[in-house]
Amino acid sequence: MPEVRKPIRIAVNVMRTRLTVIGFNIAIVSFQIAQLPGITGGVSVPGIDHPLHLTAGVELYMALALSLIAMIAFIMSCGLDEVGICTHWSLIAGDLLMYLALAYTIAGFFAPLAASIRNVAMNLPGHPAQTLILQEAVLIAGGIAWFLAMYLGPLVSLMRSPFSLTINLSLGIGYFLILLLLSWVNAQAGLIEIKSGSFVTEPGMVLRELAQPFRW
């Protein structure tokens, strides 16, 4: 006799916790976007009185968009009844997008910070060792957080997902394709910042964005 599969019922508080994380992330992104014009470095554009941090700006706006999409996915996963139990696989899709948004928030926060620390080091002679320690400590901490959010978090969500193997594999493949697409977009922004107007044709330039903290 075939085994009867129990219906998937996930407590609504699981979804609410993730909505809280997304709200916190949106607040951080909004704050950092407002601070970007005051950070040193960037690209000078005629008619704009402050440098543009194009790569960091793209990452932060992507983080905002991904957070909003994840929020919609979480809401869609909740049943419209008196209990509101989450029964749809969009909960796991929201999980993956939430982690991706967190990774982009980290990148948009730490990448310009690394450039600012380098500028401080150049204009503050006499303290090379201390400045190097500060830079390495900040970048290592940010890099660890980035890798956890970009890869480990989504992997854990897929491994612990109560949905079928087919759904989880489809979500994993979709997540990887989104990573490749966004890495290509990041590479375009990076090329503009180094004053190149060509599109990326070398696969290695896109793949390097998959380990972005090493670029910081």
80-137 pLDDT tens trace? 777 778 888 999 999 999 999 999 999 888 877 776 666 666 666 666 667 777 777 8
Distance, CA of 158 to CA of 152 (rounded, Å): 10
Chain centre distance of CA 147:
10
As a whole number, the mean pLDDT across the chain is 82
H/E element holding 146? helix 128-147
Distance, CA of 210 to CA of 110 (rounded, Å): 16
Burial of 21 (0-12, 13-18, 19+ CB in 10 A): middle
Confidence band for 2, pLDDT divided at 50, 70 and 90: very low
Q: What is the DSSP string of 39-101?
A: SS-SB--TT-SS-B-HHHHHHHHHHHHHHHHHHHHHHHTB-SSSS--B-STHHHHHHHHHHHH
Predicted confidence (pLDDT) at residue 46 exceeds the cutoff of 60: no
What six digits make up the tokens of 117? 């620390």
Predicted confidence (pLDDT) at residue 27 exceeds the cutoff of 70: yes
Confidence band for 170, pLDDT divided at 50, 70 and 90: very high
| Residue in 140, 149, 34 with CA at minimum distance from that of residue 101 | 149
Indicate the DSSP class of residue 198: S
Determine the 3-state secondary structure of 206 from DSSP. Answer: helix
Which sequence spans correspond to the domains of the chain? 12-214
Burial of 149 (0-12, 13-18, 19+ CB in 10 A): buried
Instruction: State residue 199's pLDDT score.
Output: 54
Average pLDDT over residues 183-209: 72
Instruction: State residue 69's pLDDT score.
Output: 96
| Other Cβ atoms within 10 Å of 183 Cβ, number | 18
Instruction: State residue 23's pLDDT score.
Output: 93
Confidence band for 148, pLDDT divided at 50, 70 and 90: very high
Which residues have a Cβ under 8 Å from the Cβ of 61 and sit 6 or more positions away?
33
